[in-house]
Structure 1
Amino acid sequence: MADPLPHQDRTETPLERADRNFSELLQELRVTQTGVQILFAFLLTLAFTSRFPSLDTVQRITYVTTLLLAVLAAALFTSPAALHRTLFQQRVKPSVVRISSRLAALGLVVLTLAFTGSVLLVVDVAMGRIAGIAASASTFLVYVGLWRVMPRMVQRTITDHRTTDQADGRDTPGPSR
């Protein structure tokens, strides 16, 4: 069963759609923000461990870079709330949703890099530089695969089904989000 075209079966105004989209975005941000907070807390505690002074230059650079990436991810994921609060009741909700969505997408990119850097640091310290590089490259590929490639493959499959259904003369709209 093919999915309908966006908004095809909804009876909502543009402002209702913006409200719904912003609500969905905030729910997604709640999930990602938890991951950022856990990562950030982990990174903050590392500097106070007894082994931290023994880190080499590459490990320290990796640590600081990863810590800053986690801070940037947190800033990007909390920016939609600040943007909404600042522009509240100024009749710009569709713009707030559009900008917030871009901030969230950028936050996912930065979070991918922060997780990759964390894996590099931990595996480098625990098993050596080559293992750290291999583990971080694998981590990066998993995130790219799950967060970028998979959604595009799903989108392509949906588009292919719609095209096939339309070519066959079938109108098979399914439930939409």
Structure 2
Amino acid sequence: MTSPGSRTVRTAHAADVDVLVDLVESAYRGERSRVGWTHEADLLDGQRTDPDMVADAVTNPDGTVLVAEDRSGIVACCQLERRDDHSYFGMFAVSPNRQGGGLGRELLAEAERFARQEWSAGEMRMTVITQREDLIAWYERRGYTRTGELSPFPYGDERFGLPRRPDLAFETLVKKLG
């Protein structure tokens, strides 16, 4: 698809699932996630995703997973889903030691371009844990707005992690794409 610098962005394949699970886990959970700034290690223990969830995203006929790779391999990913009147953006992960250098910004822009050009999406939506003010601010600087629309964290479903506090919720962020 694109080649920002020496990186390539492409659609993920089934053979990428294990690498993608490791990338997402490294960006959000456990001690190794603390190298970067996007971690949720203070909010959640347990897993962020698993091979079945990633395989479902990779093979979803109404979606795609984009990966950014360079000579070292896959260094970032995101999931896009085609929904009724918008595209949904999720499973966004950048290798912790690569965060802060513009890679995430580039992949987000590529995801927006893809949704607009490939699916004619007029809007991108995502959900972010409300306690992640720094991450929400990062998205706001890229044109996303807070909607005030909250949805509960799936307490009791260990596939999404083990909450370290009782007040977690998601807020929907939205951006017009064109």
User: So what's the TM-score if we normalise by structure 2?
Assistant: 0.31
Larger Rg: 1
Query: Which of the pair is proportionally richer in helix?
Result: 1
Query: Which of the pair is proportionally richer in strand?
Result: 2
Structure of greater relative contact order (alpha carbons < 8 Å, 6+ residues apart) = 1
